[in-house]
A and B are shown apart, each in its own frame.
Chain A
Amino acid sequence: MSGLVLSHISKGFKSGKVLEDVSLDVNAGEIVAIVGPSGTGKTVLLRIIAGLQEPDGGTVAIDGVDMTEAAPESRGVGMAFQNFALFPHFNAFDNIASPLTARHTPSDTLKEKVGAVARMLKIDHVLGHAPRELSNGQKQRTALARALVAQPKVLLLDDPLRNVDAKLRYEMRMELPRLLRSYNAAVIYVTQDYKEAMALGDRIAVLRGGRIEQWASPRDVYAAPASVEVAKLFGDPTINLLPATVAQGGIQLLGRAVPTPQASGAVIAGLRPEHLTVSRSEIANGIPCELDAVMPVNVRSVLYMRGPAGEEILATVGESEAAKFGREHRQVWVDFAPENVLLFDAASGARIGHPAH
């Protein structure tokens, strides 16, 4: 098949296992985002795909050809490094052209291709500059142009927006999907930022502790996280995780009975802040909470509340609505729809299921 196939990749260092049994497939023209906290082996995985490190076990296949043993220069991979890794003694043009010179491209074709990719990334006016004369955004674009210019079958992007400012990151997040798709490469995009992964990835692989914890579409990762950790990683403000007790035919959550299909033992209930409705006056079935603080975040505000047993509960509401809550401590009532409760096993952290689905 065309694209990239990783099967059962494992890698360990002296300090311990870094990757364990990682299998992924990325089709040509597809963007797969790999998300995970730092130190989970994301970069090591990219290096293995690029051939900069050898896996202890497993295979890397590109366009159906086993490349596990191939040298980095013969894999036809494009890679953008987190620290840009521009060649400081080449100017931007020669930096971008380096994959083409390796392929002995005739100089007029080379100029044309470098010019085209530079125009697309809006760096054609700085091609004569040395890397140290470029702004961070231009450096990042130069690194990206270098990865793209030879139209690689596999494109590896190692957190390319990490070292650029927020405005540029936002712009690039909008531009990148269109740009990447026009190249029809199998793209792996590594990031720590769940928003970036959701915005860019056709599918998301959540890597934790060297294993793929979830491998699904962005929507599924958010709506049905495989575990408590995945649920915590996706979402800002983070999901409310509340201890719940199993009762007859359901669970007891915040003093309210929630029907669940099956649950046993200790469970943790997850509630996304945006799934809570908060009311200033008492409502039927409402859970009485103390409102501690209101913090505006862009167009939404985060409400910090304390539940009946002192649990910390976060909710998000629209800005205009948030203004009505004022600045003082006050009593509020919280409501949620049972179908929005995510249930996790307290011991393993694995998701059990939605109640009443």
Chain B
Amino acid sequence: MERVSTLERAIRTVLIVLVLVFFLFPIFWIVLMSFQNNDQILRIPPSILFEPTLANYTTLLTGKLQTTAGNLDIAFLKNLGNSLLLSTGSVILSLILGVPAAYAFARFKFRLGENIAFTLLSFRFAPPLLVLLPLSLYFKQLGLTDSYFGLIWIYQLICLPLILWIVRGYFEDVSPDIEHAYRVAGHSWWTTFRKIAIPLARPGIAAAGLLAFIFAWNNFVFALILASADKQPVTVGALAFVTASGIQYGQIAAAIVLSVMPTLLLALYAQRYLVEGLSLGAVKG
């Protein structure tokens, strides 16, 4: 048994607390900010004692931003909806495309297979700004500018390589003999894929799907250039808080809290699949 002295335990606790404070403090501060008005946020020295207000949230939910320079309409809820639609749509599409492709790359050796897989990965290397100009020209010609479909398509540049490469690794870790055993037992290829390959790679699919969702959610530049106001996600929509009369820190904080929620909930939901991967026994003991 490992013997841990009291001192060691104390040091460990202090270090853990330090790390947690370092990473969680900004989030904590933003949550506090979301319940403050601009004056409270900007006072010096800052204080965690204040009278909380829900004004920021009501502004976001009603879509009426009141500033000293007049009233503005902001489409935060619309933006949030767009973000959800774009991210979910693109993750689902890349799962449909990427998981079977990952399986093919993991299980079969075919001509140019590695090259194709690497080409798909290389989409992640290219700086988005580099491809944006030609893309926006093509999108105009194809009539895809300012369409959900066009954006979901372009989000594949973000999601597909991630899902393909992460899930591929998980498929490669599953012994082909397990699938073979299921085939020999009398099941068709398709049943085996559904009942054996997919469930065994599920932790990987969950992790890749979650990561892809986060990357898609955080994307800014594609949506900024290729979509107009009513198709834009929260990342672009947040620009509206920089108003003529100043930056609306309170609303920004509230918007951040609201827009983090879907990703957070998804992560909590996906967590059990992520952990499941660790507990599945290997082929032999």
- Tell me which residues across on chain A come within 8 A of B284, comparing CB atoms: 83-84, 136, 139, 163
Pick from A74-82, A216-224, A252-260, A279-287 the stretch touching chain B: A74-82
Q: Give B190 Cβ to nearest chain A Cβ, in Å.
A: 11
Q: Does B188 contact A (CB under 8 A)?
A: yes
**Chain B interface (Cβ within 8 Å of chain A)?**
175, 177-178, 180-189, 191, 196, 199-200, 279-285
Please, how many residues of chain A have a CB less than 8 angstroms from a CB on the other chain?
36
Q: How far is the CA of A52 from the CA of B115 in the complex (A)?
A: 27
Q: How far is the CA of A139 from the CA of B181 in the complex (A)?
A: 14
Q: A85 contacts which of B181, B189, B199, B279 (Cβ < 8 Å)?
A: B181
Are A139 and B184 in contact (CB-based, < 8 A)? Answer: no
Q: Does A89 contact B (CB under 8 A)?
A: yes
- Across the two chains, which residue of chain A brings its CB closest to B279? A132
- Tell me which residues across on chain B come within 8 A of A79, comparing CB atoms: 180-181, 184
- Tell me which residues across on chain B come within 8 A of A336, comparing CB atoms: none
Q: Convert A48-71 into 0s and 1s, putting 1 for each residue whose CB lies closer than 8 angstroms to a CB of B.
A: 001110000000000000000001
Are B184 and A130 in contact (CB-based, < 8 A)? Answer: no
Are B175 and A50 in contact (CB-based, < 8 A)? Answer: no
Q: How far is the CA of A330 from the CA of B272 in the complex (A)?
A: 71
Q: Does A131 contact B (CB under 8 A)?
A: yes
Q: Does A349 contact B (CB under 8 A)?
A: no
Are A89 and B283 in contact (CB-based, < 8 A)? Answer: no
Are A130 and B180 in contact (CB-based, < 8 A)? Answer: no
Q: Does A153 contact B (CB under 8 A)?
A: no
Q: How far is the CA of A86 from the CA of B280 in the complex (A)?
A: 12
Are B200 and A89 in contact (CB-based, < 8 A)? Answer: yes
**Chain A interface (Cβ within 8 Å of chain B)?**
47, 50-52, 71-79, 81, 83-89, 98-99, 102-103, 130-132, 134-136, 139, 143, 146, 150, 163
Task: Among A72, A83, A130, A134, find the residue whose CB has the most chain B CB atoms closer than 10 A.
Answer: A72
Q: Give A154 Cβ to nearest chain B Cβ, in Å.
A: 10
- Work out how many contacts link A and B, with CB atoms closer than 8 A: 87
Are A102 and B186 in contact (CB-based, < 8 A)? Answer: yes
- Across the two chains, which residue of chain A brings its CB closest to B199? A89
Q: How far is the CA of A310 from the CA of B218 in the complex (A)?
A: 80
Q: How far is the CA of A71 from the CA of B188 in the complex (A)?
A: 9
Contact A139/B285 with A73-B184, A78-B184 known, Cβ cut-off 8 Å:
yes
Q: How far is the CA of A85 from the CA of B199 in the complex (A)?
A: 15
- Tell me which residues across on chain A come within 8 A of B183, comparing CB atoms: 51-52, 71-73
Q: Give B216 Cβ to nearest chain A Cβ, in Å.
A: 29
Task: Among A78, A81, A163, find the residue whose CB has the most chain B CB atoms closer than 10 A.
Answer: A81
- Tell me which residues across on chain A come within 8 A of B283, comparing CB atoms: 83-86, 88
Name 6 interchain pairs, CB-CB below 8 A, sorted by A: A72-B183, A74-B186, A79-B184, A81-B180, A99-B186, A102-B185
Are A73 and B187 in contact (CB-based, < 8 A)? Answer: yes
Q: B196 contacts which of A51, A83, A87, A131 (Cβ < 8 Å)?
A: A87
- Tell me which residues across on chain A come within 8 A of B177, comparing CB atoms: 81, 83, 85
- Across the two chains, which residue of chain B brings its CB closest to A84? B284
Task: Among A86, A130, A135, find the residue whose CB has the most chain B CB atoms closer than 10 A.
Answer: A86
Q: How far is the CA of A139 from the CA of B189 in the complex (A)?
A: 25
Are A52 and B187 in contact (CB-based, < 8 A)? Answer: no
- Across the two chains, which residue of chain A brings its CB closest to B183? A72
Are B186 and A150 in contact (CB-based, < 8 A)? Answer: yes
Are A72 and B281 in contact (CB-based, < 8 A)? Answer: no
- Tell me which residues across on chain A come within 8 A of B184, comparing CB atoms: 50-52, 72-73, 75, 77-79
Q: Which 8 residue pairs across A and B have the least CB separation, nearest first?
A: A132-B281, A102-B186, A85-B177, A99-B185, A85-B181, A72-B183, A98-B185, A79-B184
- Tell me which residues across on chain B come within 8 A of A47, comparing CB atoms: 180
Q: How far is the CA of A88 from the CA of B280 in the complex (A)?
A: 6
Q: How far is the CA of A78 from the CA of B183 in the complex (A)?
A: 10
Q: How far is the CA of A150 from the CA of B185 in the complex (A)?
A: 9
Contact A98/B281 with A87-B196, A88-B200 known, Cβ cut-off 8 Å:
no
- Across the two chains, which residue of chain B brings its CB closest to A131? B281
- Tell me which residues across on chain A come within 8 A of B281, comparing CB atoms: 88, 130-132
- Across the two chains, which residue of chain A brings its CB closest to B192? A73
- Across the two chains, which residue of chain B brings its CB closest to A50? B184
- Across the two chains, which residue of chain A brings its CB closest to B202? A89
Q: Give B183 Cβ to nearest chain A Cβ, in Å.
A: 4
- Tell me which residues across on chain B come within 8 A of A150, comparing CB atoms: 185-186
Q: Give A135 Cβ to nearest chain B Cβ, in Å.
A: 8
Q: How far is the CA of A163 from the CA of B283 in the complex (A)?
A: 11
- Across the two chains, which residue of chain B brings its CB closest to A81? B177
- Tell me which residues across on chain A come within 8 A of B279, comparing CB atoms: 132
Q: How far is the CA of A135 from the CA of B193 in the complex (A)?
A: 28
- Tell me which residues across on chain B come within 8 A of A73, comparing CB atoms: 183-188
- Tell me which residues across on chain B come within 8 A of A143, comparing CB atoms: 181
Task: Among A51, A71, A88, A143, find the residue whose CB has the most chain B CB atoms closer than 10 A.
Answer: A88
- Tell me which residues across on chain B come within 8 A of A50, comparing CB atoms: 180, 184
Are B186 and A89 in contact (CB-based, < 8 A)? Answer: no
Are B200 and A98 in contact (CB-based, < 8 A)? Answer: no
Q: Give A37 Cβ to nearest chain B Cβ, in Å.
A: 21
Q: Give B195 Cβ to nearest chain A Cβ, in Å.
A: 8
Contact A83/B186 with A89-B199, A146-B181 known, Cβ cut-off 8 Å:
no
Q: B181 contacts which of A81, A89, A130 (Cβ < 8 Å)?
A: A81
- Tell me which residues across on chain A come within 8 A of B185, comparing CB atoms: 73, 98-99, 102, 146, 150
- Tell me which residues across on chain B come within 8 A of A51, comparing CB atoms: 183-184
Q: How far is the CA of A75 from the CA of B196 in the complex (A)?
A: 20
